[in-house]
Structure formats: structure tokens, C-alpha cells
Structure 1
């Protein structure tokens, strides 16, 4: 399953919730389709556009906002910079006027109810998350373009050759954990130092640092916003947001006026076990409540699992005094490489592997990063990653109502806690005596993915999704 080299900024993408594979991926595919059109035809020559959604994208697309994402992409809105508070009004305007501004420049007729087609019983063989864009031109020509959203916001165009990153020769090529350990042994470098050297193949060290700190800023803003926003999540499940009330309860009246003052107020409460545990849960809840509300999050490595790494990183910052910029950069560099190993050797798509591919991978990434940050060796860090995933194997994806809410939001709290526990276990263990390697657990995860019934792979056809009676629109 060897793939092209993957950068930290492929694993950590700034985008909009609620799903990296069902929202961010289709959004990116739609923007790429617009770019395709521009290279061949003036957008003014496009008479109409239709979008066909297949497989998992059809079955859980409405709950995951796939229909919204493709419309935003067709308008060439950037998920990194668009005004997330204005998405709802844009959708209402399109539905009311039955017109869309293609590429942000040409208005064409567009009825979301008819021009976005959910093909519930059709799947394409390459990947369960597939979508096709159909464009009709004024001169009678037709153009079709099929894309696959393969998890974590990664997209592939059908028939397209790999270019770009795949042509780069990294100083330390890594496909497996054993490759990473080989380079660590040979050079004496830590995991994050190996990753930093590889990143120099794409950009300067200063640009990498700047980009990572931007990732961290978005994570912080997301947590802070989620911890101060009350209400009910959209979609019809009537799930009440909990992070804000938990934040208020834990702070016991302590006041603050900024993120930094908030962190200080949290520290004033001490570091007791249940207090710390509650905060880790609060951080994770905050991110995924924002994610479920079409907020801006960082795919880490997916949107559905976006709360795990920020929660564990904030645990490190708040309760382990790891708040220096250098420490945060090192944490995210290490986490990204573990995610790359899973993507190359297995999958980070719930539609391919169930929730083990999302929460399991994010927990593994966070565990390795925390273990190294706390002074662990390279082998202890990878042992932590293995422990975290070993205890997520077989985790299914069965979102109720096709929404990234139940059980997804709480699963982020569990993934974060498992990451911290895995890190602690590894730091108190000797890797020489470990019975299971990270590469073995990556392979096992892929084998499990292949064996898993498709109804447990982000379809809402099994598990909790069919055992909880609800009155929801078809999703």
C-alpha cells in the first residue's frame, strides 16, 4: 500500500466541519472541478452543473453536510478562509433563488434538491466515497469528472496520475514504523527531528514553523470557541452542547479575558486526577461540537476525530507545562508522522475502515507525540502509538442520523484519554519486551477493515444508527 510522501500539512488541514471525508473532501473536489473547467472553457459557457453522490457519500451525505460542501466548492469558496457564520445564509439563498454563482463569477440555474443526486444504492468500486460532476455547455458539449474522497480531506481524481509530492525524494523515506526507527537509529535524531528534515524537501524551516503555529492557532481558537458556545447542535438530533457548561462548572467563577488568561485560570484549579480528566474531556467535546456545527477545525487526521490531538496537546500545555512554541511544534511533527504511517499502511477513512481509522489513528498519533514530548525514547513513542491503536481495533462507525454527533463527539474524549494512558504505559515500559509492534497493529487494522461488514463503515446502516429510534429526515 505504499503511497507518495506525505507532509505534515497533508495530515493537518484547516477546514470546515463536520467531516473531512464527507465535507472537506467533496468541497475540495468541487473546487478542483471548477479549476478543471477554467482550464478548458470559460465559466460563462457552462449552462448547468449536476453532482452525483455515491456510496457512503449518498447514505450519510446530508447528515455530514456533503450537499453543502459541494455547493461551497462550486462557488470556489476556500474552506480555510471562508466566513463559516455565513454558510447557512448562502445555502438558503441558493435554495430560494435556485441559482449558484459558479466559481464565484458566473450565475447559473441550480436547484440543490434536483441537481445534487444521492444515489443510495450505487457505489463505485475504487472507494465508497465517490462523486461525479456533470457540466453541460451552451454549445451542447458535456463534461464528466469523477472524484474520490479517500479520508482526511485527501481526494483523488479518477484516472489522474500522481504528481507533485510523489516526485519528491525525501532524505528519510518512511513507509513503516520500522523505517522511522531505522533512520532514528542511524542518525541519532528524534522522531520530530526526522520529520522536520523531511519537511525541508517542501519548504524552508521557517515556513514549516509558521504553518505549524497557524495549525495550533486554529486548534486553540476552536477549543476556546467551543468552550464558550452554548445551544443545540444542528441536524435534528437535538444534541445539547456540553463543553461550555462544563467549562463554567470547572472554573468555579474564575474570570479571564483571553485564551492565555483562560489557561491560567484552569491551572489555578490544580491538577487532581478527576479535574484533569474533566478538562481533557471538555477540550475534546469543545472541538467536536464546533465540528458538528460547521465550525472551523483542523483535520487531525480527520474532522470526526479532530478533538483528540488538541485535547491531548492542551493537556500537555496546561498540566505538563509544555506551552513553549518549540514543544508544540515538536508534538505536532511527531503526531503527523504516525498518521502518515497509518495512511500508507492502512486507512484514515471511516468509510473504508470504520471508526478505528479515525479515533483510533488520532489516539495513536497523540499518544506517540505525548510520549516523546514527556521525554520518551523513539521506541517508547512508537510503543505508545501501538498501545493506543491496539485498543481501538474493530471500532465501528455507525453515526446516528448520519450526523457526526452520536457517538462521534464522546468518542473523541475517549480517544484522548486512551492516548494519555497509552503514553503513560509506554513511558513506564521497556519496548524490548513488547509483544506487538506498531507495524503489526497497522497491518491488523487494515485486515480488520477488510473483514468489517460495510454497514459499520460510515453508512448509518448498522449499530447505534439503527438501534436508536429517531424521527429525522432521511440522511
Structure 2
């Protein structure tokens, strides 16, 4: 295994829905293509531009908004800061004008109907999520650059053998769970403390702290928005938003003015099993309904699984307060996010976080595993218990297929986030009540099993919409 340092901000990215591999990844690929054009001083010479989508990107690209993301990326917009309310008018302008401003500066002809080609029957050998940019220049030259969206918003160019951040030297290099356990035993540090030390290789402690709170604020705002928006999700599947109705049912007609007041009301509503379960489901639904609507979310580790970690984190801060502490603790939140990110990075190194490569076990399964470990440490569990929780969560997602109806990240994706969140909490409780030394399955063993399962899985269950619910549920019927 090659040395591959991965930062917490590589695993937890702010972006726009509905898919990290089919929306955020292609957006970033377009940015990288722009970077190449500028570096080679070709930008002002581009006359025409065509984009070819292969494999899973082609088969579910329409429902996942791949073409939309590519257009926004070619215009030079940043998914972290671009106003999501401007997506529709911006795309409409490009469609009507049949042209776009390349990098916001050079207008070129661009009709999305013909300039973006979906090659449904072709797949590139390296990865199912491949796309190629073809440009002709004013001097008669031609350019072709191919990129792969490998999951979680990560992008790799064809022929690129340099791994992410491989020139960064960490205090505690970690390639697998055994490495993490060894450092924990040797230093006595918790998982989050090890991550905090490693993050110093990229930036100072203050910058990391501020970045984590930005991640948290995005998660918080996403849940609050999703719990108060009604209507139908876009895409023609006629799926109704449910989080807002559930929120109103649980709180009744009690009024509140902001997020903090809302959280206090939820905390005071009681901690019965049924009430807690309803709120965890509500939080997860809210995030992924926002994701399905091209809202701003945190890729954790993917957009399709973006609701699991925020839902479990809200369970943690609302229903598991420290003695004498009712308000949100920034430090508790930061540690939760760092632990989750470390577990996710191990999955990425040893297996995959791409549903196009591994099915939904690579998305919901990994996010549930990340959340389980983070919750376990947050509740006072040992390093071994946290890793045991991660193993349990993944063990019970093994083999989960990716079969989005209509190629949309809606059914069964949204509800699967509620299941992943609940499984994470259950896995954490099991680990906290267990002795990890007696566990028969290690985290590394379950990750290897996940990868073996991914390789054996039929391609039609890997985000192609060619199997499972995607072919057995009529598109004209609503979800509920």
C-alpha cells in the first residue's frame, strides 16, 4: 500500500448535491481542466468544447446533475461558495444562449444538448466514473484530457500516479486500522487527538478548529433548512419532502425563531426511544432531501450518504449532553468530526467510498461506520471500542447495492441515511457494552471483506440504475 496522507478536510468537504462522485467530482474535474488550460496558456484559444461521460457517469448522470455540475465548473464557479439559488437561472442562461463564459472570461459556443455526450455503453478501464474534455483551439490544435471521479469528490487524472498529499509527513502515519490502533496504544492518545496532531502537517491548530466549525455550521444549517422546507423533490419521481412534516408533527405548534431555540425545544421534548428515533430519522431525511434538491451539504464521505454523520452528531449533542452541560460544545463537535474522518480515510485507502465501484456499502456503510466510531469516542469509549463500533456498523451493511430509481439520489438513498444513522448508534451501544479484546472480527478484516464484496458484486448494482429497485419500481409512482 502506498503512503497516502488524508486530511479531515479531504474526507469532509463542503459542496452541492446531489452526488459527490457524479456532481461534485465532475465539477472539480472541470476546474482541473480549466487549470490545465490556464497553465498551458490555452484558455483564450479555445474555440469549441465537448465533454464525454462514460460508465456510471453516463447512466445516472442526468438524475445526478452531472451535466449541470460540469457547466458550472467550466464557468469557474466554486461549489463551496456558489449560491445554490442561482443554479437554475445560470443553467437556463447557458441553455438558451447555447454558449458559456469559460472560466468566467471567454465566451464559447456550448449547447449542453450536444456538447455533453452520454456514452451509456462505454466504460473506461480505470474507473466507472470517467469523463473526457475535448477542446479545439484557434490555432488548429486539439486537446483531450480524461479524469476520473473516484468517490467522495476525489478526482484523479488519467495517468496520474501521484497520490493525494503524498509529500506530507505526518506525526502518526496511518494506512490501516492496525496502524491507528498501534499509535493509540503507544501514545495513549484518543483517535481524535491523533488526528489533531496529524492535521498540524497541513495547518495550525486554530485553522483546523475554524475549518471544523465551518463544516459543522454547514451541517447544522443544512439540517435546519431541510426540517423547514416542504414540497416535491426535483427530477420527476414525485417524492415528497417528509422532514418538515415530521418536524412539525413532533413539535406541534410551538413557535421558535432560530436553530438554537429549535434545538432546546427538541432537547426538552424528552429522550424516550421512540422520540429519539423519530428525531434521528428527521435529521437524516432533512439533509438528504436538501442534497436531492441541489442544496449545500457536507460530503461525509459522500453526498449520497451526507445525512448519517450530521444526524448522529445531532443525536450526540442533543440527547447525550455531558453532565452539567446542555449547550453545544465546540470541542465535542470537533473531536467527533476528526474521529469520523479518520475512520473514513482508512476505508478509502483499503477499499473504496465510491458506489460506482462498491455499491451502497461504500457510501451508507462507510458513513455509518464513521459515525459509530465518532459517537463511541464521544461517549467515553476507548480507541478499541471506537474501532469495534466502526467494524460492527460496516459488518451489517456488507453487500448493500446501489440501485437509485431513475438515476436520482432519492429512492432508496434518502431513507437509507436514516437506517445508516440508526445502525451507527446501535453499533456504538454494542461496542460500549462489549470487551473489544474478545471481538472475532477486526476493522481491517471487515474493510477487506467489503472490498472483496465490491469486486464480486454485479456491475448493475453499482450506481448504474440497471438493477434492483431501479428496474422494479415504475417511475410514474411516488415513493409513498
Superposed pair shares fold, TM > 0.5: yes
Residue 2 of structure 1: how far off its partner (Å): 3.9
Q: Is 1:443 aligned to 2:431, yes or no? A: no
Q: Which runs of 5+ in 2 are unaligned?
A: 323-327
Structure 1 position 3, deviation (Å): 5.0
Aligned to 2:364: 359
Q: Per the alignment, in what secondary structure is the counterpart of residue 14 of structure 2?
A: strand
Partner of residue 425 from structure 1, selected from 424, 430, 435:
430
So what's the TM-score if we normalise by structure 1?
0.98
Question: Equivalent residue for 2:325?
Answer: none
Q: CA deviation at 1:161?
A: 3.9
| CA deviation map 1:176-213 (0-9, x unaligned) | 11100100000111110001101001110110000000
CA distance in 1: counterparts of 2:59 and 2:267, whole angstroms = 44
Q: Gapped runs of 5+ residues in structure 1?
A: none
C-alpha distance in structure 1 between counterparts of 2:94 and 2:206, whole Å: 42
1:347 aligns with 2:362: no
Aligned to 1:46: 46
**Is this contact kept in 1: 2:232–2:239, CA < 8 A?**
yes
- Deviations along 1:47-100, one digit per CA (max 9) or x if unpaired, are 011000000000000000000010010001000000101101111111111011
- Distance in 1 between residues matched to 2:140 and 2:3, nearest whole Å: 39
The change in CA–CA distance for 1:3 and 1:91 in structure 2 (over 3 A counts) is: farther
Q: Distance between the aligned counterparts of 1:423 and 1:163, measured in 2?
A: 32
1:160 shift after superposition = 2.4
Tell whether the 8 Å contact from 2:287 to 2:306 is kept in structure 1 after alignment: yes
Matched, 1:412 2:417: yes
CA distance in 2, matches of 1:325, 1:134: 46
CA distance in 1, matches of 2:194, 2:268: 37
Structure 1, residues 206-229: CA drift from partner, whole Å, max 9, x if none? 100000000000000000000011
Question: What is the CA distance between 1:43 and its match in structure 2?
Answer: 2.3
SS in 1 for 2:411: coil
**Contact preservation (8 Å) 2:4, 2:175:** no
1:20 corresponds to: 20
1:90 aligns with 2:90: yes
Match of 1:196 in 2: 196
Q: Distance in 2 between matches of 1:160 and 1:47?
A: 27
CA contact (8 A) 1:6 1:340 kept: yes
The corresponding residue for 2:252 is 252
Residue in 1 that maps onto 2:294: 294
Are the equivalent residues in 2 in contact too, given 1:255–1:265 (CA < 8 A)?
no
Paired position in structure 2 for 1:266: 266
2:403 corresponds to which residue?
A: 398
SS at match of 1:64: coil
User: Which residue does 1:80 correspond to in 2?
Assistant: 80
Distance 1:405 1:260, change over 3 A: same
Q: Tell me, what secondary structure is at the counterpart of 1:47?
A: strand
Does structure 1 retain, via aligned residues, the 8 Å contact 2:42–2:137?
no
Aligned to 1:374: 379
Greater CA drift, 439-448 or 315-324: 315-324
Name the CA distance, whole Å, in 1 between partners of 2:191 and 2:359: 28
Q: Is the 8 A contact 1:57 1:128 kept in 2?
A: yes
CA 1:392 to 1:2, structure 2 compared with 1: closer, same or farther past 3 Å? farther
Q: Report the secondary structure of 1:145's partner residue.
A: strand
Q: CA deviation at 1:354?
A: 0.1
Describe how 1:24-423 pairs up with structure 2 within 5 A: 24-162=24-162, 165-321=165-321, 323-423=328-428
Runs of 4+ in structure 1 deviating by more than 3 angstroms, as ranges, are none
CA distance in 2, matches of 1:226, 1:164: 33
- Taking only aligned residues, the RMSD between alpha carbons, in angstroms, comes to 1.0
What is the count of residue pairs matched by the alignment?
472
The structural deviation recorded for 1:163 is 6.2
